Amino acid sequence: MEHVPHWLLNALIFLTAAVVAVPLSRALGLGAIIGYLVAGIAIGPWGLGLIANVDAILHFAEFGVVLMLFLVGLELEPQRLWRLRGPIFGHGAAQLAGCTLVLGLGGLLLGWGPMPALIAAVGLSLSSTAIALQVLGERKLLPTPAGQTGFGVLLFQDLAAIPILALLPLLATQGPPGQAVDLHTATWGVGKALLAIVAVVLGGRLLLRPLLRWIAASRTAEIFTAASLLLVAALAVAMQALGLSMALGAFLGGVLLADSEYRHELETDIEPFKGLLMGLFFIAVGMGIDVGTLMAQPWALLGLIAAFMGLKTLVIAGVMRRVEGDARQRHVTTLMLAQGGEFAFVVFQAASPDVLPQALASLLTGAVAVSMLLSPLLLMGLERVLTAHSGAQARPHTAPTFAQQTPCVIICGFGRYGQIVGRMLGTQDVRTVVLDHDPDTIDNARDFGSEVFYGDARRLDLLKTAGAATASVIVVAVDDVQASLDIVDTVQAHFPQLKIAARARNVGHFYQLMDRQVDLIEREVFDASLMTARAVLETLGWDAADAEQARQRFREANLRLMALTHPHHTDRARLISVAKEGRQQFQAQLAQERAERAERAEHVERNQTRQNPPSLPSEQP
């Protein structure tokens, strides 16, 4: 093994631990985060001792938190914030302030000192967004008033984590725990943070979108991915150089791009890296848990868990009492918010040892980790008690759901064809998400008020991000035939519930879409050409009704011919033969109908002549 690079051996250890621990944890209903923590404990100094340099790995893995906060910023569209302003800024602020106050007083009573008590209270007040949303989603509670309130509280916590993490480096420069903070230094730190925020906002507005547009114009997917990571890294480094939190810069960058056309592509590109680095972060946190300290004071650990979860439950229950709906749903949401969260690990890690003593940080980190381990078990017990008490399972609420915020239709391609489809759906208030990979098309559409996002709709991850799992219809309106077929194949393989409406560029494309049994196929110039033909007939003197009837007859006959020739489209000779035969039959039918109409007209004229014979000229007197 001496010839194996050290970094490669560590990577092997991390991947093996994650691949073994996470599936086992999920199978036991404990979630992926618990699996990562257990994997970290197992390979860390207090387990098998396979990894020794925990601090270096943890510093590298913190970039996963930076990426996560960038994605949180991308989700914060102004419309969404305004729609959830009550749960976010009302219930969310009440929960965080109430829990921080109660837990901070408890820390002071335990003799932790003002600053450690404050940091501990803030960290313990935060909940696990990943675990809570997963549980609420699995139990169909997100659409309920309680679920929406829980979502708002979690979102406010994510927002609050930004200033918390931004201020921690300032607090860490103030000397040993408990020492008074220098007012001048703190004021300068806050002013520096505000100046940095203004610089990021102005620079982002002036530079970010033009830069991303220039990169997107290269139409090289891997370069756009590299640019996404470069953007987050540059913002993080800029903030770190100013002595501020890396997460603050990433979050601001995400917010600036939340309403941009590149939001979905950025989110899709960064999500895999975020997931891997967040997993590495939790493994590193697990390795950093001082199991010896926890084992030396098990009763202190259990008492701390019971105290902070109990106090949080009381505060959150008081907040949830104002929420309408089923009491059982409020109880489940309250329990999910009472556990510790992943941001607490970041807070305690950043505050130790400058603000929090190492032993206290280890105790707090262990308490949060164990609370996350206990939450699924406590939830199972709570549901049994609620079921026994009510005699029935809690039923999902039927109020307006979050699904109303998800797209009903996804439009792939916003050229001349997709634009008309999107504009007509927009006039009927149909919710759409539009994807296109041409920056010029996107810019032009946005100039006219259409919201279009950059991205290649052939990518499965991008379709997931755009809402394909919950949408009803996908309109495939891209120009390229092969790209159209690739999108159809991806949708049919991964989103079978989606109805597909596809644009056929030509007859060959039409046949290939028929092979795939696409729900609705429209040839892009077929109806427009028929309308032109009808106008020509009217110009030649045809009656408007007769011209329209001719158009309809030809359209129906052509569709029948397409169905007739489809089984033979791979055999060119047979295809030509069947097509000619079908056209000759249609032309013969029309010729026969014309002859019959002429004969009927002649017969009518003869009858009129017999009934009204021409009068003879009268003689002159």
Domain membership flag for residue 606 = no
Residue 51, pLDDT above cutoff 50:
yes
What residue numbers bound the domain in which 567 lies?
A: 525-597
What span, in angstroms and rounded, lies between the C-alpha atoms of 130 and 316? Answer: 18
Same-domain pairing of 412 and 303: no
Instruction: Please state at what angle helix 209-216 crosses helix 439-447, rounded to 10 degrees.
Output: 140
Q: What is the pLDDT of residue 178?
A: 43
Residue 71, pLDDT above cutoff 70:
yes
Residue 484, pLDDT above cutoff 50:
yes
Domain membership flag for residue 517 = no
Same-domain pairing of 353 and 426: no
Instruction: Return the exposure string of 197-218: e unless at least 16 CB atoms fall within 10 Å of the residue's CB, then b.
Output: beebeeebeeebbeebbebbee
> What residues contact residue 173 under an 8 Å CB cut-off, 6+ apart?
185, 189, 243, 354
| Band of residue 344 on the pLDDT scale cut at 50, 70, 90 | confident
Residue 404, pLDDT above cutoff 70:
no
Summarize the confidence of residues 104-123 as an average pLDDT. 85
Summarize the confidence of residues 259-284 as an average pLDDT. 74
Same-domain pairing of 125 and 230: yes
Listing from the earlier edge strand, what are the strands of the sheet with 452-454? Answer: 452-454, 432-436, 409-412, 473-476, 499-504, 520-523
Q: What is the pLDDT of residue 397?
A: 39
Summarize the confidence of residues 52-59 as an average pLDDT. 68
Q: What is the pLDDT of residue 179?
A: 46
Position of tokens 């105290």? 307
Residue 303, pLDDT above cutoff 80:
yes
Q: Which residue has the higher pLDDT, 578 or 509?
A: 509
Computed over every residue of the chain, the mean pLDDT equals: 75
Same-domain pairing of 490 and 548: no
Q: What is the pLDDT of residue 389?
A: 64
Retrieve residue 241's tokens. Answer: 């150089």
Q: Which residue has the higher pLDDT, 596 or 561?
A: 561
What span, in angstroms and rounded, lies between the C-alpha atoms of 616 and 229? Answer: 99
| Band of residue 137 on the pLDDT scale cut at 50, 70, 90 | low
Summarize the confidence of residues 353-361 as an average pLDDT. 77
Q: What is the pLDDT of residue 140?
A: 67
What span, in angstroms and rounded, lies between the C-alpha atoms of 95 and 101? Answer: 10
Same-domain pairing of 441 and 533: no
Residue 113, pLDDT above cutoff 50:
yes
Same-domain pairing of 169 and 217: yes
Q: Which of 76-90, 164-178, 466-480 has the lowest mean pLDDT?
A: 164-178
Summarize the confidence of residues 154-172 as an average pLDDT. 69
Residue 57, pLDDT above cutoff 80:
no
Q: Which of 11-25, 77-91, 457-471, 556-570 has the lowest mean pLDDT?
A: 77-91
Kindly list the distances between the CA atom of residue 530 and the CA atoms of 544, 550, 554, 560, in Å, as whole numbers in the listed order. 14, 9, 8, 16
Percent of the chain with pLDDT over 90: 0
CA atoms within 13 A on the CB side of 170: 22
| Band of residue 175 on the pLDDT scale cut at 50, 70, 90 | very low
Same-domain pairing of 313 and 448: no
CATH number where 438 lies: 3.40.50.720
Summarize the confidence of residues 466-486 as an average pLDDT. 86
Summarize the confidence of residues 200-224 as an average pLDDT. 73
Instruction: Please state at what angle helix 298-320 crosses helix 358-390, rounded to 10 degrees.
Output: 50
Nearest partner of 248 among 122, 119, 346, judged by Cα: 346
Domain membership flag for residue 396 = no
Summarize the confidence of residues 295-322 as an average pLDDT. 85
Query: Helix (H, G, I), strand (E, B), or coil: what is residue 133?
Result: helix
CA atoms within 13 A on the CB side of 168: 30
Tell me which range, 50-59, 243-252, 326-335, 387-396, is most confidently predicted by mean pLDDT. Answer: 326-335
Domain membership flag for residue 135 = yes
What span, in angstroms and rounded, lies between the C-alpha atoms of 17 and 35? Answer: 9
Same-domain pairing of 231 and 161: yes
What span, in angstroms and rounded, lies between the C-alpha atoms of 376 and 332? Answer: 11
Q: What is the pLDDT of residue 243?
A: 65
Torsion over CA of 458, 460, 463 and 467, rounded to 10 degrees? 160
| Band of residue 338 on the pLDDT scale cut at 50, 70, 90 | confident
Torsion over CA of 598, 599, 603 and 604, rounded to 10 degrees? -30
CA angle 324, 335, 166 (to 5 degrees): 100
Domain membership flag for residue 618 = no
Nearest partner of 397 among 326, 321, 470, judged by Cα: 326
Q: Which of 195-209, 326-340, 358-372 has the lowest mean pLDDT?
A: 195-209
| Band of residue 177 on the pLDDT scale cut at 50, 70, 90 | very low
Summarize the confidence of residues 320-324 as an average pLDDT. 77
Residue 611, pLDDT above cutoff 70:
no
Domain membership flag for residue 614 = no
Same-domain pairing of 364 and 465: no
Same-domain pairing of 335 and 419: no
Q: Which residue has the higher pLDDT, 520 or 263?
A: 520
CA angle 159, 163, 164 (to 5 degrees): 100
Domain boundary residue among 364, 390, 416?
Answer: 390
Domain boundary residue among 460, 477, 512?
Answer: 512
| Band of residue 77 on the pLDDT scale cut at 50, 70, 90 | low
Same-domain pairing of 435 and 546: no
Summarize the confidence of residues 513-535 as an average pLDDT. 81
Q: Bridge partners of 475?
A: 411, 501
Summarize the confidence of residues 280-301 as an average pLDDT. 76
CATH number where 145 lies: 1.20.1530.20
| Band of residue 106 on the pLDDT scale cut at 50, 70, 90 | confident
For residue range 542-583, what is the model confidence (pLDDT) as tens digits? 888 888 888 888 878 777 777 777 777 677 677 677 667 766
Q: What is the pLDDT of residue 395?
A: 41
Q: Which residue has the higher pLDDT, 147 or 79?
A: 147
* Number of domains composing the chain: 3
Which amino acid does the sequence have at 104? G
Residue 79, pLDDT above cutoff 70:
no
| Cβ count within 10 A of residue 464 | 15
Residue 58, pLDDT above cutoff 70:
no
Same-domain pairing of 432 and 335: no
